[in-house]
Structure 1
Amino acid sequence: MVLSEKQEALVKESWELMKHDVPRHSFRLFTLIMEKAPRAKDLFSFLRDTDEIPENNPQLRAHAAKIFKLTCESVVQLREKGEVAVGDTTLKWLGSVHLQKGVLEPHFEVVKEALLKTIQEAAGEKWSEEMKNAWGEGYDHLAAAIVREMQVQAAASSKPIA
């Protein structure tokens, strides 16, 4: 079992609060990532030529929403599925893109911090240390699955990941 019943309930409760305003929360997630790691904008073609995070950028909005939903829904389904609930094709694509862009394992920690802060803000007074731990554990499983796929693809292409 990946998450306990209590952790699953906390994750689902907070996801219910967030899923009705994915555009706002996903944009906040990316804002926090860029505040913590400003050079990360170079990983995104639609952010390279700007010094700020343009809220009205349709590519950013679409990408942020897709990533935020994929992450949250994967964590929500963790207990039910017993593993990361991302299809093999999607996981291979995620591994490939992250490898091509030069994403490193420490980058996943920056995203985790931003995700937890985003959820904390969205959950408001419902936020707790238990909720933080549940989301953190769930995110760690997703990040580990992506890193494993990056390693598989790096080995196949003889391209090491730092």
Structure 2
Amino acid sequence: MVRELGYNTISEVLDSWEALRRIENYEEQAGLLLFRRLFDKSPRAKLLFGFPIDLDVHSDTIKNSRRFKAHAMYLIQMIDSSLNMLGPDIELLTEIMHALGEKHARFGVLAEMYSQMGDALIEAMTVLLGEGVMNEKVVEAWHETYGALSGDMIEEHIKYDQGE
């Protein structure tokens, strides 16, 4: 699925990601905001990260958790690595996405959580960058790109769930 992304789509995504990278401490800021958005959309996801389902995601408990902060920053770093592979390393990226899909299935991630994560990522970027950078065209490019990346993960996730 990632193979089907066009040059203009990839360019829009990479340009906006580069704008995000210019924000001081972007990994922590984007990661924290992304997970807060995700947990608002999918309270069950809190359990996957070892938090009680009734945890207030806007409290300092999450913000002050070293483990959570490390995971949030790691996710942003993984997105960064994936985006850096768009283009010449597309086959390797597809293999990595398949492996991640199986890994997430083993951890109990539900298939519908992928789209929730994508929405949370795009919302976090829009908050941090503003609508001047995250305009309609860029948001559409992000939906297409994230959909392709997560589509490869979901494909493998489904195979794992079916015992293949």
TM range (shorter): 0.7 to 0.9
Letter in 1 for 2:103: V
Q: Does 1:126 align with 2:133?
A: yes
Structure 1 residues 86 and 5: alpha-carbon distance in aligned structure 2, compared to 1, 3 A threshold: closer
Among 17, 41, 58, which residue is 2:19 paired with?
A: 17
Q: What is the alpha-carbon distance in structure 2 between the residues aligned to residue 11 and residue 83 of structure 1?
A: 19
% of aligned pairs identical?
Answer: 24
TM-score, with structure 2 as normaliser? 0.79
Q: Does 1:112 align with 2:123?
A: no
> Could you tell me which residue of structure 2 aligns to residue 98 of structure 1?
104
Q: Does 1:137 align with 2:152?
A: no
Alpha-carbon contact 2:111-2:157 (below 8 Å) kept: no
Q: What is the alpha-carbon distance in structure 2 between the residues aligned to residue 79 and residue 24 of structure 1?
A: 27
> Could you tell me which residue of structure 2 aligns to residue 30 of structure 1?
35
Q: In structure 2, the residue corresponding to 1:85 is in which secondary structure? A: helix
Superposed structure 1 runs of 4+ greater than 4 Å apart: none
Structure 1 residues 39 and 49: alpha-carbon distance in aligned structure 2, compared to 1, 3 A threshold: closer
Alpha-carbon contact 1:10-1:134 (below 8 Å) kept: yes
Letter in 2 for 1:65: M
Q: What is the alpha-carbon distance in structure 2 between the residues aligned to residue 134 and residue 16 of structure 1?
A: 15
Q: Does 1:61 align with 2:69?
A: yes
Which structure has the higher relative contact order (CA within 8 Å, separation 6+)? 2
Give the unaligned 5+ runs of structure 1: 158-162
> Could you tell me which residue of structure 2 aligns to residue 42 of structure 1?
47
Letter in 2 for 1:59: R
1:67-82 alignment, distance < 5 Å:
67-82=75-90
Q: What is the alpha-carbon distance in structure 1 between the residues aligned to residue 143 and residue 80 of structure 2?
A: 11
Q: What is the alpha-carbon distance in structure 2 between the residues aligned to residue 59 and residue 107 of structure 1?
A: 21
TM-score, with structure 1 as normaliser? 0.80
Work out the number of aligned pairs and report it.
154
Structure 1 residues 87 and 67: alpha-carbon distance in aligned structure 2, compared to 1, 3 A threshold: farther
